[in-house]
């Protein structure tokens, strides 16, 4: 057969396949989300997310040590306070759960890169991501509280803040507040294209952040909308975001690619709780190869254009990268 071009030539063995691999991944791009609760001696498995736990501050060293050992250098904290109120006051309190967690982690693990999720939903009694006016979230009033929360996290030891609330103008408000307090060099990773997704269920269980009424569709995005996602991203870049994010990751590769080709700053994607739990459930039922699907989903996000991958599989992916299974 007279066939000059044969793509299979470059698939002949593992060494060659890795040599010509187009998508490269590295452990340094992984971020692990971690849930922290009030109390003592708590390591509580999250029933909807097998293998994931809530930790009290006194046991925070256990997962952080595991991350360092695995080669995962970045972690994002989510705090679950004992007290919640209408204004989410424990989100920005000096002695709040997340502030104390940052202080301990900064002191005990100086080489880890600490990221603070900035939102109100875990801290408000109503479970919404901002301050209510009647039954609606007051966008502009919420900005003040988000800015206070971001500053308090950085003062406690966070290296980066990541606003996830989807209020209009929050990146600019946070940037101004950080600069006013002398934190000129603290980056903002904005949840820019965050969709009102059905993939968030297990997270809301883990963070105890299910809305007491209604839903979040008046501030999180309609998943039908591509142009609006680009509008959100470009607004965040204009307001001073240093990194933009797409959330969820698995079924939004088209947007990750378009954003990557449009903006000149790093692009993150968040492989959310529902993605994790679906893989775990199917693997426990014997329907899929857990490691294989985990690696394939990660590769799809990086192939689309992800620079930073936030995932509950961070430790497992780091191990696969170390062994050359993926990366």
Q: Among residues 84, 104, 247, 280, which one is catalytic?
A: 247
Active-site residue flag, 247: yes
Q: Among residues 27, 194, 280, 315, which one is catalytic?
A: 194
Measured CA angle at 131 (ends 184, 244), to 5 deg: 40
Which spans in the chain are helix H? 14-19, 61-70, 97-108, 139-156, 170-180, 201-207, 227-239, 253-262, 273-284, 290-304, 314-323
Q: Nearest to residue 306, comparing CAs of 246, 227, 217?
A: 246
Intra-chain end-to-end CA distance of the chain, in Å? 35
Q: What is the DSSP letter of 171?
A: H
Q: Nearest to residue 304, comparing CAs of 254, 263, 265?
A: 254
Q: Which residues contact 36 (CB under 8 A, 6 or more apart)?
A: 54, 55, 56, 57, 60, 77, 78, 79, 80, 97, 98, 101
Pairing, β 53-56 against β 43-45: antiparallel
Positions marked active-site: 194, 247
């Amino acid at each position: 057969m007279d066939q000059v071009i044969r793509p299979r030539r470059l698939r002949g063995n593992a060494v060659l396949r890795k040599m010509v691999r187009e998508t490269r991944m590295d452990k340094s791009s992984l971020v692990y989300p971690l849930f922290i609760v009030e109390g003592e001696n708590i390591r509580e498995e999250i029933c909807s997310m097998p293998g994931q736990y809530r930790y009290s501050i006194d046991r925070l060293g256990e997962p952080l040590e595991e991350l360092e050992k695995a080669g995962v250098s970045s972690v994002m904290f989510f705090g679950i306070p004992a007290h919640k109120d209408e204004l989410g006051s424990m989100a920005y309190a000096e002695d709040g759960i997340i502030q104390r967690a940052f202080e301990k982690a900064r002191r005990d693990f100086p080489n880890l890169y600490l990221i603070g999720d900035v939102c109100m939903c875990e801290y408000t009694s109503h479970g919404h991501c901002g301050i209510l006016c009647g039954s609606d979230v007051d966008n502009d009033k919420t900005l003040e509280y988000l800015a206070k929360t971001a500053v308090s996290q950085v003062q406690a030891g966070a290296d980066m803040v990541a606003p996830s609330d989807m209020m209009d103008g929050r990146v600019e408000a946070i940037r101004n507040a950080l600069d006013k307090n002398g934190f000129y060099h603290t980056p903002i990773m904005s949840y820019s294209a965050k969709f009102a997704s059905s993939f968030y269920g297990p997270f809301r269980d883990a963070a105890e952040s299910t809305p007491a009424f209604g839903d979040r569709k008046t501030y999180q995005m309609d998943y039908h909308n591509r142009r609006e996602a680009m509008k959100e991203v470009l607004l965040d870049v204009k307001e001073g975001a240093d990194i933009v994010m797409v959330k969820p990751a698995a079924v939004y590769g088209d947007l990750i690619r378009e954003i990557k080709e449009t903006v000149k700053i790093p692009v993150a994607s968040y492989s959310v709780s529902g993605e994790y739990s679906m893989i775990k459930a199917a693997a426990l039922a014997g329907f899929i190869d857990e490691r294989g699907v985990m690696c394939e989903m990660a590769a799809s996000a990086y192939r689309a254009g992800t620079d930073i991958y936030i995932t509950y599989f961070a430790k497992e992916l780091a191990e696969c990268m170390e062994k050359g299974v993926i990366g």
